[in-house]
Amino acid sequence: MDLSNKNVIHVVNGDCEYLQFRRLLEYNDVLKHAYGLKPYNFKVMEGADNKNAFECYQNLCNCIGVDYDRLVRPNQKHTDVVKVVDLIENSISHEKISYEDTDGLVTDKMEIVLGTVNADCILLMFFDPVKKVIANVHSGWRGTIQKIAVNAVNKMIEKFQSNPKDIICCICPSIRKCHFEVENDVKDMFEETFGYMSKVDEFIEYVGKDGDIDKWVIDTVMINKIMLHDMGLLEENIIDSGICSVCNSEKVHSFRVDKDDAGRGAALISLRG
């Protein structure tokens, strides 16, 4: 099963499989990145004490040529918090996570590897090739409502003087509108937050009743694209993998499919020195 398309390539490197964005590969002399896929031996579970997770991170780091000992990731809690990484305090290889209650990291430091994980949620990898700044953001549906993507762009602007028109954002595989079915409570939160957007009827759609319960589908990817565009990112710089984690659960981790047995896919991005 090859997930390659116009925006991503599916790489098989020994016993490791991952996606890379064609646009980011244009900067391969200054940038390394990957989104880990799901062969039998790649199952990054939640929890900093999971031995398998560390082995899988190390494998993916080795495959793309970044230093596992310089990998940091936030302790994702579906927040809107984005923090700047200035130095390695407790890297994941030391079985600690320094960034509690955080869902996004930003840095301009070379050789620091920013990592996030998902199993249906959206992961966003940002790169400003002018200021040489990267960010890695976890935006589940709660993070989307809290507009963490906007916070990440603002952090790049305020801390590193990035111009939004220079920022590239790559959207990793995630659950898509075809499978993100919700009830009125979640739908109402999205309508209250994003009802001002012109395409609301496109990203929130009624699909009928399940017994007496109304069901809706929501396109969180489209919402993030609109937010990013409103922040000043150019349409051609918002690069979507176009891959649904549920439709492609043979290769992509999906909590909706695998439930409590679900692993986590890892997105890594690092500036080269």
| Domain extent listing, the chain | 8-175+238-271
**pLDDT value of position 95:** 46
| CB-neighbour burial class of residue 263 (10 A; exposed 0-12, middle 13-18, buried 19+) | buried
The Cα–Cα gap between 132 and 235 comes to 20
- Output the pTM of the full model: 0.94
Query: Is-contact 269 33, C-beta < 8 A?
Result: yes
The Cα–Cα gap between 164 and 127 comes to 10
**pLDDT value of position 53:** 72
Q: Would you identify the CATH topology of the domain 8-175+238-271?
A: CNF1/YfiH-like putative cysteine hydrolases (3.60.140)
Which two tokens mark 117?
A: 């994980």
| Amino acid (one-letter) located at 268 | L
The Cα–Cα gap between 152 and 80 comes to 9
**pLDDT value of position 94:** 46
Which two tokens mark 222?
A: 């489209």
**pLDDT value of position 41:** 53
**pLDDT value of position 174:** 98
Residue 104's φ and ψ, nearest 5 degrees, are -155, 145
HEC profile for the chain?
Answer: CCCCCCCEEEEEECCEEEEEEHHHHCCCCCEEEEEECCCCCCCECCCCCCHHHHHHHHHHHHHHCCCHHHEECEECCCCCCEEECCCCCCCHHHCCCCEECCCEEEECCCCCEEEEEECCCEEEEEEECCCCEEEEEEECHHHHHCCHHHHHHHHHHHHHCCCHHHCEEEECCECCCCCCEECHHHHHHHHHHHCCCCCHHHHEEEEEEECCEEEEEECHHHHHHHHHHHCCCCHHHEEECCCECCCCCCCCCCHHHHHHHCCEEEEEEEECC
* List of the chain residues with pLDDT < 70: 40-52, 88-98
**pLDDT value of position 92:** 53
Which two tokens mark 100?
A: 């509690």
**pLDDT value of position 260:** 86
Query: Is-contact 104 82, C-beta < 8 A?
Result: yes
**pLDDT value of position 44:** 62
CA-only gyration radius of the chain, Å: 18
